[in-house]
Structure 1
Amino acid sequence: MDSDETLPLVELRVTQGYSQANPWVIQAISGFLSAYFMEYPGFRVLRHADEAASGMHVWTCEIPTSLKVPRLLKRLQADIPPSTVTPPSETAPSPAQYIIDTAI
């Protein structure tokens, strides 16, 4: 892969309600993403932050084009309490934002 190549960015967001209902989930997701980094070359977590305005935890990730985000999310959901994932809107600006919230 050319080092000048820009990989797509994706944000994984966890709502405040979900993280409050499951306090350990932030650490679990961070660990999962660290393991995913080891498994898939090219996948990187660029930033993890607690967004004060929305109360969400946000991971900004570089995703290789060969990696399918729904597959990553399905594997993640197997490791965390029941949740729903809201996919990004087609009209939303980049980066794509996947929101993890309590299951309905």
Structure 2
Amino acid sequence: MRRSTIYPISAGDTLTLEIIVENPTSQPKTLLQVIDHLPDGFGKPAKRSIELIPPQDSYSWIYSTDSTQRGIYHWSKVDLRTATPLGLFWSSRHRVAKAKAIDSLAE
């Protein structure tokens, strides 16, 4: 799991984020949920369900969020959950995908 470059924004702009989930194995990965734990200035954690990532492939999740105040935000926690194979229980893993977002005063 990795995160694409985050470009600085001005106050009131929308921040666009991208997380890339890779499957380096020879087996498909199914029924995944990715949760990006955003800092307080960006609201609630962002969530995405992924039905399938084929073997030796990746899934690119691009989403946007609005900031509520200016500042420099650091976060790194991303959860990867699955209920495979039977869907009875969740298995969760914490992953590190460091992020730094800069929300500055518009010029």
TM-score under structure 2 normalisation?
0.36
Write 1 or 2 for the structure with the bigger share of strand: 2
